[in-house]
Amino acid sequence: MFSENAHKSGCIEVICGSMFSGKTEELIRRLRRAQFANQEIAVFKPAVDNRYSAEDVVSHDLHSVRSQPVTDPKKMLEIGPDVRVVGIDEAQFFDASLVDVCQTLADRGVRVIVAGLDTDYLGKPFGPMPALLAIAEDVQKVHAICVKCGNLANHSHRLAKSRELVLLGEKDAYEPLCRDCYNKAIAAGQ
């Protein structure tokens, strides 16, 4: 059992990649391992993401973990003193204040596990993710499989015609593509 006087070493872990690459699945796996080790967890997601559930973090494979939807990352700082691990899904949808929140939590001795898209549908760095990648002790980039050629996919190609930066969707709105197939699709105006 964890002793009150034991030194708690906080850290930031980032899981990033394109859509359909298993980011949320990996986040849930790490959180379940922490629970198995009797560590208290707190899980957060952006309130805007209600694709599968308003309350739960849910992977495309429909694995889930209970979470607290928030609009302001600073709400994450209100966790109880027994929380050892904080999970954050869809981090790209939060504002830049998420970076300071993660730093503060890690400085308090909390293990912070963040999952999110590293780039948007235009291939540009997305939200607070670049800064989180820079300060993290551990970064894992996961990949989907390109639906056109079978290579590792690095891009979330938008199929829907919307130009909004944030467009929640699934396979009807996005497909994972490798660099070559993504560039070909963009050049063809698809």
Angle among Cα 27, 148, 180 to the nearest 5 degrees reads 90
Distances (CA, A) of 121 to 27, 32, 139, 174: 22, 30, 21, 9
Which tokens in the block code for residue 50? 């209600």
Residue 103, both tokens = 């730093």
Annotated active-site positions, please?
90
Could you list the beta-strand ranges (E) of 83-189: 83-88, 111-117, 138-142, 144-145, 152-153, 155-158, 174-177
Close Cβ partners of 139 (under 8 Å, ≥ 6 residues apart): 13, 14, 16, 133
**Residues 6 or more apart from 122 whose CB is under 8 A from it?**
none
